[in-house]
Amino acid sequence: MKALITGASGFVGSYLKASLERNGWTVYGTGLEEEGKESLPPGFFPLDILEPKAIRRLLEELRPDAVFHLAAQSSVALSWKEPAWTVDVNVKGTVNLLEAVRQRGEPYPQLLLVGSGEEYGHIRPEETPVSEGNPLRPGNLYAATKAAQNLIGGIYAQAYRLPVVLVRAFNHIGPGQLPGFVAADFCRQIAQAEAGLREPVMRVGNLSARRDFTDVRDVVEAYRLLAEKGRPGETYNVGSGRAVGIRQLLDGLLALARIQIQVEVDPARFRPVDVPVLEADVRKLQADTGWAPSIPLERTLADTLDYWRGQVGNPKISEKI
Ligand code: GDD
């Protein structure tokens, strides 16, 4: 079986590639050309998801059995700063891919569109843990683009019988995630403070939010299983099923720190709107695929902090946000 992962050079893509290969798949990936053509490893093709013709050419050349669509602007924080670009990449990019698949014709590859738990947005207390049929009330631009992707994917599944499986992934974290996401932001600061590269003071944003965290290594197993066993046209939550306070996440990391670190709340890290709770009901995913997360949050946090201990001082890690 041949898989194509769009946005394969990102955080999740490398784990997904490894998981698929372990399970006998041949995997190709796409990445942005600016990332450096020579730095793209074998099996990777430079591709901008905003170039429809290039997507068609690549599909024609590779004829994959499955396409995992990860290419996206994946940061909620960045979507407040780059709304138009977020809409372009996440909505137009998805349409470009779906159109390319439709126009190439049958046999269609199995398609996995990765959306977000953020699509649910303002969940009422009685609606949590939130299941796939819940109304969507997105609270930010990123969430709205992923809700649009889900609707558009559903239309292609219904109107053209494209085998599209729709995912709503909740927060996934682990070694290799870029700064700009909470666990990476916290771990990086702790590692820098431990190495004496900053004062032992870390800056944090909103600690009162609660999010459903899953290790990225478990998340990609869910994606693989959904490509193999998911029902076309259906939406699946991917999460741990348990919301954890950001304060609790921070305390867990501070307990792992090798030095005493003070915490300062930084108003610049707050967002105009931050949905209070996101917690997934994952019964549908479990029933259809047998998936269950296997890595406890404590290990994910320890592994992520260790990763950052190895990264501090690495000039390749950018400070985008
Ligand atoms: N990034 C960041 N940095 N977030 C912080 C910080 C900080 O220093 N301090 C507190 N937070 C809070 C945010 O306000 C938010 O409530 C929570 O931590 C999680 O923020 P992120 O890690 O940036 O993730 P997200 O929840 O906005 O989005 C992630 O999860 C979505 C699914 O629920 C991303 O992985 C999305 O791509 C994904 O769709």
* % of the chain with per-residue pLDDT over 70: 95
- Banded model confidence at residue 106, pLDDT cuts 50, 70, 90: very high
Cα gap 4→62, rounded to integer Å: 8
What fold is seen in the domain 182-211+242-277+295-318? Answer: UDP-galactose 4-epimerase; domain 1 (3.90.25)
**Average pLDDT rounded to a whole number, residues 238-242:** 98
What token pair was written down for 199?
């004062």
Is residue 271 lining ligand 1, measured as CB closer than 6 Å? yes
Please state the atom number of ligand 1 nearest to the C-alpha of residue 172. 35
Q: Whose CA is nearest to atom 16 of ligand 1?
A: 209
What fold is seen in the domain 2-173+213-238? Answer: Rossmann fold (3.40.50)
- Has residue 37 got a pLDDT over 80? no
* pLDDT value for 98: 98
Which residues of the chain does CATH 3.40.50.720 include?
A: 2-173+213-238
Q: Would you put residue 135 in left (φ > 0), alpha (ψ -120 to 50) or beta?
A: beta
Q: Whose CA is nearest to atom 35 of ligand 1?
A: 171
Please state the atom number of ligand 1 nearest to the C-alpha of residue 278. 33
Cα gap 278→291, rounded to integer Å: 20
Please state the atom number of ligand 1 nearest to the C-alpha of residue 207. 10
The answer to whether residues 84 and 95 touch, using CB atoms and an 8 Å cutoff, is no
- Has residue 32 got a pLDDT over 90? no
- Banded model confidence at residue 267, pLDDT cuts 50, 70, 90: very high
**Strand stretches in 125-193, DSSP E:** 164-169, 172-173
**What stretch of H or E contains 69?**
strand 66-69
Is residue 209 lining ligand 1, measured as CB closer than 6 Å? yes
Which residues of the chain does CATH 3.90.25.10 include?
A: 182-211+242-277+295-318
**Average pLDDT rounded to a whole number, residues 75-88:** 96
- Banded model confidence at residue 125, pLDDT cuts 50, 70, 90: very high
Is residue 257 lining ligand 1, measured as CB closer than 6 Å? no
- Has residue 258 got a pLDDT over 60? yes
Is residue 246 lining ligand 1, measured as CB closer than 6 Å? yes
* pLDDT value for 35: 52
How close is the Cα of 274 to the center of ligand 1, in Å? 9
* pLDDT value for 316: 57
* % of the chain with per-residue pLDDT over 90: 92
Cα gap 21→6, rounded to integer Å: 16
Cα gap 67→40, rounded to integer Å: 19
Over the stretch 272-289, which tens digit does the pLDDT of each residue have? 999 999 999 999 999 999
